[in-house]
Amino acid sequence: MLKLKYLFNIEDLAEMLLGNWEFDKQSIDMFKYYRISSNAIYPFQFEGNTQLLRFASKSEKNKENILAELDFISYLRTKGYGVLESVRSKSDEELVEAQTPWGDYFASVFKRVSGIQINKTDFSDAIIFSHGKALGKLHHLSSQYTPDMHKRWSYNDVLHWIQDILTDFPTETAALKESKQLQDYFSTVPITNTNFGLIHYDFEYDNVFFDEATNSCNVIDFDDAMYHWYAMDIEQALDSLKDCIPSELFSQKEQCFMDGYRSEYPVSDNFPAIIPACRRFANLYGYTRSLRSISEKWANEPDWMIGLRGKLTKSMKESSLCFGSEIQEETK
């Protein structure tokens, strides 16, 4: 998540950045449907087709990670995987670096994918199967992927980043202990060509679109991609579905998801055992990003910022409940 100061809607900034691409002038009205979280996303149209401008302050992002993300997306497209497509700028660049009155920014544009978000479907068995199948295929392709130039960071890089952030928060001793405990734990987990690779990390219902015409899924937002055990993606995806599916139906839907996954890629033997550690990793990563996001405070903050700060603080409290406790492996 971006720092709170980058969450303001600045349409002049968006239009200035969008000027690096071709676009329909009248479609600027679509900016009102913007959203900002880990990036600012502003919809627009070019030749009547909806596209998405994505940007963030250079202080918030790592150039190597973005270039590696774009390379991986391009690779997936060459393999026929349903994924978003980047659009080159007027100067033939996938990633634009721009100086603006609001600071220096990274910007990219993507074509909108077809289909509807999983959370806007009826969660039928067929759709959940397709959701799992899409993740299995992603991991199959990831297992065959070797980057040519740019490489995304790994779970270990993330843990080091967390520790670097926590140095600015000396009272966060429990979070620091949790990061070191996870490092120690993951150092004992075997890494193979079949259980570890470049994952999406955020393969949740709002980033996966079901296309009824092709009976398949299209995937967006690889901004959090990292090298990790594939089990991490499975845990994140299933955990997000718990928000949408009644508890009495979840076990059956989970089986549909896993059946879809296994139709494309095998589940590693150590999958159940490391799920608790994967959940702890997600909790710590989310906690630290929120901590960094809300660290700055100002007088007379707008109501939405006060509300968001409160929401993030509550989420952080829930995420930190397990910090420092022993990591219990599952055996199911």
Domain limits of the chain?
A: 4-111, 117-322
pLDDT of 145 reads 97
40 neighbors 94 (Cβ within 8 angstroms): no
Burial of residue 239 (number of CB atoms within 10 Å: 0-12, 13-18, 19+): middle
Q: Tens-digit pLDDT profile for the chain (332 aa)?
A: 899 999 999 999 999 999 999 999 999 999 999 999 999 999 999 999 999 999 999 999 999 999 999 999 999 999 999 999 999 999 999 999 999 999 999 999 999 999 999 999 999 999 999 999 999 999 999 999 999 999 999 999 999 999 999 999 999 999 999 999 999 999 999 999 999 999 999 999 999 999 999 999 999 999 999 999 999 999 999 999 999 999 999 999 999 999 999 999 999 888 889 999 999 999 999 999 999 999 999 999 999 999 999 999 999 999 999 998 999 887 65
pLDDT of 181 reads 97
In single-letter form, the type of residue at position 150 comes to H
**97 DSSP β-pair partners:** 106
Q: Which CATH class is domain 4-111?
A: alpha beta
Q: What distance in Å separates the CA atoms of residue 36 and residue 57, rounded to the nearest whole number?
A: 12
pLDDT of 331 reads 64
CATH architecture, domain 117-322: Alpha-Beta Complex (3.90)
pLDDT of 332 reads 56
Q: What distance in Å separates the CA atoms of residue 241 and residue 206, rounded to the nearest whole number?
A: 10
Residues 6+ apart with CB under 8 A from 277: 182, 185, 186, 189, 327, 329
Q: Which two tokens stand for residue 23?
A: 């676009």
What stretch of H or E contains 228? strand 226-229
- The DSSP annotation for 119-175 comes to GGS---HHHHHHHHHHHHHHHHHHHT---SS----BHHHHHHHHHHHHTT-TT-HHH
Distances (CA, A) of 320 to 110, 120, 224, 278: 35, 30, 21, 14
